[in-house]
């Protein structure tokens, strides 16, 4: 495209000049409209009126074939955003032509004058083809000034590029209407449809996916890959405003660019990644500022059958013990598609010749079969042994026995902080078992030695860091991004004036205020003693140190002193939410601030849950753990403690006064905890934000004292929701927002986990981009009311 002239042929000028052509002087004759009977051929083009896009023939990269397409006109990099004849290449553009027929459709003829592509829709009357400023090629019956009907548009038939203003998704009726998917090119030289496509699930959850040859390519987390929505990704706010629309007829994402001087686009790349690209004028390149899947291990089945993925390994894939690469040559070059096979076959009916090997800390493979009546590991093992085709078993994420009968796919080694980590037991012949045990032992020894060395080095670096920081300047003791400071105990003691100013106390320890020598205010959490090894503590803490979100309190560093452990956080001047909601002498938070707080907390939680890499469940959502900065922005604290405390956590939690009121029923009954448990607690919190009182606080003269029950009935029956509002606000609130908040809160506190929304959905509902119905009412109102009162309240 670089050497294509923007001048049109003299002949073309002659023919078209009479037809409302824009002429500038006598040379420049760009236009953005084609009229019936007109055609483009060779190096002729039309452009959008703002000069941003151009339509014509092009030759991609090193290819020898030509295509008709739309590209950015005014940038140095060849960037095609739409292709008409994706899989019908042309040999020679000068013999081919793109014609707007008198019947009103665009037809592309090859050199033999055979039509190879055409726009489908036609409509009688005089149709024009216009390349609009947004890059959309539109066929309509008349110019923009008069009312006109669009009969066809390239935005409805996209290729691999999703431009601002175009949709992802579309009509829910598959027969009527359009649905937009974005399909990658086959290669950078070949625009024919490639294996990868970006699409939207039509179920209204906002889930989008990448498929490879029609099969799942990208997995994200356990809760069924239905958790990622563009609008909850903070990074996506960069340059664009994404909106999600879901109603009875249609479901789609659409975005606009916040600064129209910046070029932004999404692309389903040939690599299988969805990328958000921004044109950088100074460096003259498209910079990818967001992409999914980001890591190899996020790709579904990346390591093939019986392989396991390790994102931090030198090689990302390893065969499971007892397995070897199916095609070693390929495997060693980094092509893992063929996976691994058994070293020796399993023979059934060979009692005593098999056993199981445990693989710890992995994401469980796909395609499990759940045996819902088996709950213990022992029974699960014997169930697997009895079944000749069973090759692996474990207790799965939902507490049931899971067995596998097909190749093991999509296993990933996980780090300690990861909520998805589980142990899997794989059936192996005894001979292979012994061999693989010996090997593991060697590996473990080596690992231990190098880990020890690494720890020494790490400590040295951290100490160096802290001391050089202190030496070089006292004005900058804040850690750089992602680097946690290892504080000396003495420094913390002097920063907190010997732990004299206590900010709060909870089940996991006390918090003290402190000031660093550079006058940065800090909060120091002294954790109650726990019997965890230093090394493990460090691993967990360093995971927490990588978490950054505007609604999460930032961890600055930590300190180890004998058995004592301290976490150092940013100090939040406005304290915790409970002091503002429940105490008389504090400033009354207006509705706007409360709504802002509710949304922020939801975003922070959504980030913890839905961030593919970490998937952290908070487990202890309550007003005491919502801190407010100087501008009343909410920041969640105490996330990740569940991992730090391990098994003790739920014991402490359930015995802690002032926490039980927020716990989901499954947490109290000791069932496995999922992100939906946080959703429950969030619902309880939201009700308190609305009412300005503790949910369980008894009131005189009210026989329906338990506020959540009262709220649930009111909301379900369509009662006066504003009556639930904190009386201190005197009804001064946005009624729509209050109704939404009440509804979403009542959905969050449903007994059944699957009825509760995800935090991502909560965010969307509170932001008003997703609708929400009244929650269901089960049985009659008084039964319902009873069912809402937790039994442990002792009513």
Ligand X SMILES: *[C@@H]1O[C@H](CO)[C@@H](O)[C@H](O)[C@H]1NC(C)=O
- Output the known binding site: 525
Interface pick for ligand X out of 22, 23, 61, 717 (rule CB under 6 A) = 61
With binding defined as CB under 6 A, does residue 64 bind ligand X?
Answer: no
Q: Can residue 148 be called a binding residue for ligand X (CB under 6 A)?
A: yes
- Binding region for ATP: 525
Cβ-contact 99, 109 below 8 angstroms: yes
Q: Is 147 in the site for ligand X (CB under 6 A)?
A: yes
Q: Is residue 275 classed as helix, strand or coil in its secondary structure?
A: strand
**Two structure tokens written together for 391:** 């090759």
CA–CA separation, 760 and 204 (whole Å): 12
Q: Which of the stretches 24-32, 141-149, 455-463, 496-504 binds ligand X when contact is defined by CB under 6 A?
A: 141-149
Question: For residue 660, what is the DSSP state?
Answer: G
Of the candidates 621, 622, 619, the one whose C-alpha atom is nearest the C-alpha of residue 673 is: 619
Quick one: which of 20, 23, 120, 241 contacts ligand X (CB under 6 A)?
241
Determine the interface stretch with ligand X among 111-119, 308-316, 593-601, 696-704 (rule: CB under 6 A): 111-119
**Rule CB under 6 A: is residue 447 a binding residue for ligand X?**
no
Q: What is the C-alpha separation between 567 and 573, in angstroms, rounded? A: 18
Residue 189 binds ligand X, judged by CB under 6 A: yes
Q: Of the candidates 2, 5, 24, 352, which one interacts with ligand X according to CB under 6 A?
A: 5
**Other CB atoms within 10 A of residue 198 CB:** 26
Residue 286 in tokens: 């498209």
Please count the residues of this chain forming the interface with ligand X, following the rule CB under 6 A. Answer: 40
Instruction: Give the contacts of 143 (CB within 8 A, at least 6 positions apart).
Output: 33, 128, 130
Position 149 contacts ligand X (CB under 6 A): yes
Which is nearest to 272 in space by CA: 186, 175, 148, 396?
186
Provide the pairing of β-strand 215-216 with 208-212: antiparallel
Nearest distance, CB of residue 289 and ligand X, angstroms = 4
Helix (H, G, I), strand (E, B) or coil at 116: strand
Shortest Å distance, C-beta 576 to ligand X: 28
Q: Does 328 bind ligand X (CB under 6 A)?
A: no
Q: Residue of minimal CB distance from ligand X? A: 142
Instruction: Check residue 529 and report its DSSP letter.
Output: P
Cα(395)–Cα(364) distance, integer angstroms: 10
Name residues contacting ligand X, limited to 716-735 (CB under 6 A). Answer: none
- 786 belongs to the binding site for ligand X (CB under 6 A): no
372 binds ligand X (CB under 6 A): yes
Q: Which stretch binds ligand X (CB under 6 A): 332-340, 584-592, 685-693, 781-789?
A: 332-340
Q: State which of residues 111, 120, 367, 546 lies at the interface with ligand X (CB under 6 A).
A: 111
Nearer to ligand X, 167 or 622 (CB): 167
d(CA 137, CA 785): 58
The order of strands in the sheet holding 485-486 is 485-486, 555-561, 564-570, 521-527, 509-515, 502-506
672 binds ligand X (CB under 6 A): no
Q: What are the angstrom distances between the C-alpha of 602 and each of 237, 636, 683, 766?
A: 16, 10, 10, 9
Q: Where are the beta strands (DSSP E) in 132-249?
A: 137-140, 150-153, 161-162, 167-171, 179-180, 182-187, 190-200, 208-212, 215-216, 240-246
Q: Site mask, ligand X, residues 397-426, x = CB under 6 A?
A: -x-x--------------------------
User: Among 37, 51, 517, 727, which residue sits at the site for ligand X (rule: CB under 6 A)?
Assistant: 51
- Candidates 23, 144, 271, 335; binder of ligand X (CB under 6 A) is 335
Least separation in angstroms between CB 213 and ligand X: 11
- The yes or no reply on residue 329 touching ligand X (CB under 6 A) is no
Q: Does 771 contact ligand X by CB under 6 A?
A: no
C-beta closer to ligand X: residue 225 or 704: 225
Give the C-alpha separation, 40 to 30, whole Å. 13
Q: What is the DSSP string of 449-507?
A: HHHHHHHHHHHHHHHHHHHHHHHH-SS--SPPTT--EE--HHHHHHHTTTTT-EEEEET
Q: How far is the CB of 373 from ligand X (least distance, A)?
A: 6
**Which of 190, 432, 620, 678 is the catalytic position?**
620
Convert 33-87 into a string of H (helix), E (strand) and C (coil).
EECCCCEECCCCEEECCCCCEEEEEECCCCCCCEEEEEEECCCCCCCEEEECCCC
Region 65-104 residues binding ligand X, contact defined as CB under 6 A = 74, 91, 94
Beta carbon nearer to ligand X, 43 or 681 = 43
* Cβ 637 vs Cβ 553: under 8 Å: yes
Both structure tokens of 331: 């495997």
Window of 163-171, 334-342, 633-641, 723-731 that interacts with ligand X by CB under 6 A: 334-342
Binding span for ligand X by CB under 6 A among 138-146, 167-175, 210-218, 266-274? 138-146
434 makes contact with ligand X (CB under 6 A)? no
Closer CB to ligand X, residue 180 or residue 357?
180
Q: Is 20 in the site for ligand X (CB under 6 A)?
A: no
* Shortest spacing between CB 128 and ligand X, in angstroms: 9
Contact 84, 72 (CB under 8 A): no
Task: List CB contacts of 185: < 8 A, sequence separation 6 or more.
Answer: 159, 160, 191, 192, 193, 194, 270
Q: If binding is defined by CB under 6 A, does position 337 make contact with ligand X? A: yes
Q: Catalytic residue at 281?
A: no
Contact 292, 218 (CB under 8 A): yes
CA distance 497 to 457: 31
Largest CA-CA distance found in the chain, in angstroms, rounded: 93
Which residue, 154 or 402, is less far from ligand X as judged by CB? 402
Give the residue carrying structure tokens 């804040």: 478
Structure tokens at 763: 């965010």
Considering the rule CB under 6 A, would residue 107 count as an interface residue with ligand X?
no
Q: Pairing mode, if any, of strands 555-561 and 521-527? A: unpaired
Burial class of residue 378 (count of CB atoms within 10 Å of its CB; 0-12, 13-18, 19+): exposed
Q: Considering beta carbons, is residue 111 or 376 the nearer one to ligand X?
A: 111
Q: How far is the CB of 272 from ligand X (least distance, A)?
A: 11
Nearest CB to ligand X, comparing residues 329 and 794: 329
DSSP conformational letter for 9: P
Q: How many CB atoms lie within 10 A of CB 307?
A: 27
The reply to whether 122 sits near ligand X by the rule CB under 6 A is no
* For ligand X, the closer CB: 113 or 351: 113
- Encoded tokens for 647: 């098994």
Work out whether 112 is an interface residue with ligand X (CB under 6 A). yes
Contact region with ligand X (CB under 6 A), list: 2-10, 130-138, 437-445, 563-571: 2-10
Report in angstroms how near the CB of residue 390 gets to ligand X at its nearest: 17
Stretch that binds ligand X, among 14-22, 331-339, 471-479, 657-665 (CB under 6 A): 331-339
Asked if residue 370 binds ligand X (CB under 6 A), the reply is: yes
Q: Report in angstroms how near the CB of residue 51 gets to ligand X at its nearest.
A: 3
Query: Which residues are near ligand X by CB under 6 A?
Result: 3-5, 42-43, 51-52, 61-62, 74, 91, 94, 110-112, 114, 116, 125, 141-142, 146-149, 188-189, 238, 241, 243, 258, 281, 289, 330, 335, 337-338, 370, 372, 398, 400
Catalytic residue set: 620
């Amino acid at each position: 495209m670089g050497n294509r002239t923007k001048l049109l042929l003299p002949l073309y000028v002659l023919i078209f000049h009479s037809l409302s052509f824009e002429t500038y002087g006598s040379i420049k004759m760009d236009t953005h409209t084609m009229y019936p009977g007109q055609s483009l051929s060779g190096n002729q083009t039309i452009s959008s009126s703002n000069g941003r896009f151009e339509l014509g023939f092009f030759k991609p990269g090193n290819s020898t074939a030509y295509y008709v397409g739309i590209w950015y006109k005014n940038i140095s990099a060849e960037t095609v955003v739409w292709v008409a004849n994706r899989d019908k290449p042309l040999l020679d553009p000068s013999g081919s032509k793109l014609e707007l027929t008198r019947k009103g459709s665009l037809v592309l003829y090859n050199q033999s004058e055979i039509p190879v592509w055409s726009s489908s829709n036609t409509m009688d009357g005089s149709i024009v083809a216009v390349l609009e400023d947004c890059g959309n090629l539109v066929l309509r019956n008349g110019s923009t000034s008069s009312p006109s009907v669009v009969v066809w548009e390239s935005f409805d038939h996209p290729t691999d590029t999703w431009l601002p203003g175009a949709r992802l998704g579309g009509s829910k009726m598959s027969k009527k209407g359009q649905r937009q998917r974005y399909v990658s090119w086959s290669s950078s030289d070949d625009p024919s449809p490639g294996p990868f496509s970006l699409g939207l699930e039509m179920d209204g959850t906002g889930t989008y996916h990448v498929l490879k040859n029609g099969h799942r390519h990208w997995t994200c987390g356990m809760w069924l890959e239905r958790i990622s929505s563009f609008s909850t990704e903070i990074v996506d706010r960069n340059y664009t405003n994404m909106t999600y629309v879901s109603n009875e007829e249609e479901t789609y994402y659409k975005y606009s660019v916040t600064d129209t001087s910046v070029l932004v686009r999404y692309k389903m790349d040939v690599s299988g990644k969805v990328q958000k690209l921004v044109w950088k004028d100074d460096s003259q390149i498209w910079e990818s500022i967001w992409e999914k899947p980001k890591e190899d291990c996020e790709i579904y089945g990346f390591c093939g059958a019986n392989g396991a993925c390790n994102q931090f390994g030198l090689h990302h894939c390893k065969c499971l013990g007892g397995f070897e690469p199916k095609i070693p040559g390929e495997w060693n070059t980094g092509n893992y598609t063929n996976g691994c096979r058994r070293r020796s076959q399993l023979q059934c009916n060979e009692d005593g010749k098999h056993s199981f090997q445990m693989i710890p800390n992995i994401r469980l493979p796909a395609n499990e079969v759940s045996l819902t009546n088996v709950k213990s590991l022992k029974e699960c093992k014997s169930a697997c042994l009895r079944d000749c085709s069973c090759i692996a078993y474990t207790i799965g994420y939902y507490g049931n026995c899971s067995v596998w009968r097909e190749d093991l796919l999509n296993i990933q080694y996980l780090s300690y902080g990861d909520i998805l980590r589980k142990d899997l037991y794989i059936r192996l012949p005894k001979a292979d078992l012994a061999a693989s045990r010996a090997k593991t032992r060697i590996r473990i020894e080596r690992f231990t030695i190098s880990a020890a060395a690494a720890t020494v080095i790490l400590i040295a670096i951290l100490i160096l860091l802290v001391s050089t920081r202190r030496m070089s300047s006292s004005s900058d003791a804040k850690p750089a991004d992602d680097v946690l400071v290892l504080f000396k105990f003495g420094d913390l003691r002097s920063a907190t004036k010997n732990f004299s100013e206590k900010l709060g106390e909870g089940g996991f320890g006390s918090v003290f205020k402190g000031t660093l020598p550079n006058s940065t205010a800090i909060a120091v959490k002294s954790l109650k003693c726990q019997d965890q090894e230093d090394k493990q503590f460090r691993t967990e803490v360093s995971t927490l140190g990588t978490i950054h979100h505007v609604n999460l309190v930032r961890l600055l560093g930590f300190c180890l002193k004998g058995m004592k452990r301290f976490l150092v956080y940013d100090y939040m001047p406005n304290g915790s939410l409970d002091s503002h909601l429940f105490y008389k002498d504090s400033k009354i938070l207006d509705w706007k601030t409360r709504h802002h707080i509710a949304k922020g907390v939801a975003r922070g939680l959504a980030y913890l849950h839905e961030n593919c890499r970490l998937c952290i469940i908070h487990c202890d959502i309550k007003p005491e753990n919502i801190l407010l900065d100087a501008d009343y922005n909410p920041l969640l604290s105490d996330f990740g403690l569940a991992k730090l405390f391990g098994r003790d956590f739920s014991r402490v939690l359930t015995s802690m006064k002032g926490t039980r009121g927020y716990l989901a029923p499954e947490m109290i009954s000791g069932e496995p905890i999922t992100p939906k448990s946080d959703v429950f607690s969030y619902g309880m919190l939201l009700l308190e934000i609305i009412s300005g009182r503790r949910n369980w606080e008894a009131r005189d003269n009210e026989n329906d004292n338990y506020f959540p029950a009262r709220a649930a009935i009111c909301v379900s029956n369509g009662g006066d929701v504003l009556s639930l509002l904190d009386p201190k606000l005197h009804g001064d609130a946005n009624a729509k927002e209050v109704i939404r908040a009440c509804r979403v809160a009542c959905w969050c506190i449903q007994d059944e986990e699957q009825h509760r929304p995800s935090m991502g959905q909560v965010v969307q509902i509170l932001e008003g981009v997703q609708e929400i119905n009244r929650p269901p009412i089960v049985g009659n109102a008084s039964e319902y009311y009873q069912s809402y009162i937790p039994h442990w309240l002792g009513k």
